[in-house]
Amino acid sequence: MEKIDVGIIGTGWCGGIRAQTAASSPLVAGVHLAEIDRIRLKELAEQTGAVTATTDYHDLVADDRIDALMISATPETTHYPMAKAALEAGKHVLLEKPLALTLEEGDELIELAERQGVKFTVGYSQRFNTKQAMVKRSIEDGTLGEPVSALISRHITRRLGDKIGGRIVLSPAAMEATHDIDFLLWCLQPARPVRVYAQAVERVMKEKYGTSDCMSIVVTMDSGVVLTVAAGWILPPGYPNFSTTWMEIVGTEGALLLDDSHRDIVLNTMSEGMTLPLSTMPGEQVRHVYAGPMEQETLYFLDAVVFDRDVLVRPREARQAMEVYLAADLSAERNAPVDLPLSRDEEEPALVAGTV
Ligand SMILES: NC(=O)c1ccc[n+]([C@@H]2O[C@H](COP(=O)([O-])OP(=O)(O)OC[C@H]3O[C@@H](n4cnc5c(N)ncnc54)[C@H](O)[C@@H]3O)[C@@H](O)[C@H]2O)c1
């Protein structure tokens, strides 16, 4: 078996997890890091024993030793140029969501990856959440019968809302509901979304960042199934990067009610009061084990590259999710349902105004 060299661009929260996971994988010969924060770069280079540590990601793109790049930089305006450069250089790419900021950019990346014959996937980490994997299985193996409806409610803390809102104007649909839209569309394949109706509430985040606090999105599939996704980012702190999710998946023969609210572990200390550990979306390392989906997602990508297997999140699926959340933004803005596919002049994101 041939080992690969892997580069990580942007080693903040997610990139840190990707880098640590790659460094401990027996499939990886060398880890290479690009990060503009020199302190973080040094810290992670020491932790991972990185072969290369640079502040210029072009160094990794140009490095012929590197087979695959994982792109975890922010703000999200970096995703398209970084992925384009990596794919043009013939690297396999794992790109954190969002795929791009416009469908046009997304299409360009997808076509480029196909032309280059490389693996290209998008970080929809929740597909690797074990509870959610069970939803997919229960639909696929017929346990629930024919799908009827699905409801997902997802909330994250205001600290994360502030982190995201402080770097770019993207909506809760584009940044949070996107996980659930991707997940439900994947579960319900080959059905396709045909109509989106969304409403947004603006009480906390609008003045600070020009974005909404939460969005409720209804998606009608061509099979008649109706999906409801509600997502927001103004919860008070419960734990660093706390997230809480609830799902109801109803079919003709059964229902799956899924509690991922993370209320199963309560840590109470004199200094912090009550907190809910292990409650982030990507998960975290707990001594010798990883709790959460992002480690497995990273390993799956490395496997796909080394053993020439399919990626789990195909880029065209990420594009479909993107079209639905762009339609949700448009629907909230117009206060009216939006039919899919979007026409060319509707494809520009409603809320994106670049970095702030
Ligand atoms: N799948 C999930 O559960 C999940 C969770 C959080 C974030 N995300 C996605 O992952 C991405 C990263 O989020 P995060 O919270 O890790 O962000 P972060 O801000 O913690 O980390 C991003 C890093 O990129 C670095 N960076 C910026 N420009 C760079 C450049 N030109 N070259 C190299 N490094 C550069 C920054 O210094 C920072 O350290 C986001 O786009 C977000 O959408 C996914």
Q: Map out the domains of the chain as residue ranges.
A: 4-124, 127-292+317-339
Counting from 1 in the atom list of ligand 1, the atom nearest the Cα of 16 is 16
The Cα 173–Cα 194 span in angstroms is 17
pLDDT tens column, 48-81: 999 999 999 999 999 999 999 999 999 999 999 9
Res 352 pLDDT > 50: no
Regarding the beta carbon of 63 and ligand 1, being less than 6 Å apart is answered no
Regarding the beta carbon of 251 and ligand 1, being less than 6 Å apart is answered no
Q: What angle do helix axes 79-88 and 103-116 make, rounded to 10 degrees?
A: 20
Regarding the beta carbon of 35 and ligand 1, being less than 6 Å apart is answered yes
Ligand 1 midpoint to CA 348 (Å) = 23
The beta strands (E) that lie in 165-283 are given as: 193-201, 214-221, 226-235, 243-251, 255-260, 267-269, 273-275
Q: Which residues pair with 69 in a beta bridge?
A: 7, 93
CATH code of the domain made up of 4-124: 3.40.50.720
User: pLDDT above 70 covers what percent of the chain?
Assistant: 97
CATH code of the domain made up of 127-292+317-339: 3.30.360.10
By the 10 Å C-beta count (0-12 exposed, 13-18 middle, 19+ buried), 315 is classed as: buried
Q: Within 10 A of 235 (CB to CB), how many other CB atoms are there?
A: 17
HSE-up of residue 311 (Cα within 13 Å, Cβ side): 25
pLDDT tens column, 73-94: 999 999 999 999 999 999 999 9
Ligand 1 midpoint to CA 139 (Å) = 33
Q: What is the pLDDT of residue 349?
A: 65
pLDDT tens column, 287-314: 999 999 999 999 999 999 999 999 999 9
Rounded average pLDDT over 189-198: 98
Q: Within 10 A of 115 (CB to CB), how many other CB atoms are there?
A: 10
Regarding the beta carbon of 180 and ligand 1, being less than 6 Å apart is answered no
Q: Which residues pair with 130 in a beta bridge?
A: none
> Which among 164, 77, 78, 91 is positioned nearest to 121, based on CA atoms?
91
* Confidence tier at 1 by pLDDT (50, 70, 90): confident
